[in-house]
Amino acid sequence: MAKITYNTHDNKTHTIEVQNGLTVMEGAVQNDIPGIDADCGGGMACATCHVYVDDAWMAACPPISDVENVMLEVVIAPKKSGSRLSCQLMASKALDGIVLHVPD
């Protein structure tokens, strides 16, 4: 299990345990975290799972693939550093404690 904290646009903090092997997006959807719609179900085709990874956790995240990079170009309000698709982040020991900010 990985503890994931989602700071949502309504200034609420949601900290949940996500089973290792599920994506951070799946953990959000299963727990009704607002702002992560995940319309394509993790197929990297919608970018409605966009999050900002907290600066302190950037180094722990896996590299961004070319396809994810292309999808991040179409999100609203991307950040040069920190924007990720939460469907590409896998809950794991490495991400246990990660803090994410969910855009409006």
The residues binding ligand FES (CB under 6 A) are: 25, 38-40, 42-49, 71, 85, 87
Residue 43 or 63: which CB sits closer to ligand FES? 43
Residue 87 or 90: which CB sits closer to ligand FES? 87
The type of residue at 17 is E
Tell me the C-alpha distance between 94 and 71, whole Å: 24
DSSP string of 35-50? Answer: T---TTSSSSSS-TTE
Residue nearest to ligand FES (CB): 87
Residue 11 or 78: which CB sits closer to ligand FES? 78
- For residue 39, CA distances in Å to 2, 5, 26 come to 23, 21, 11
Write down the least CB distance from residue 25 to ligand FES, Å: 5
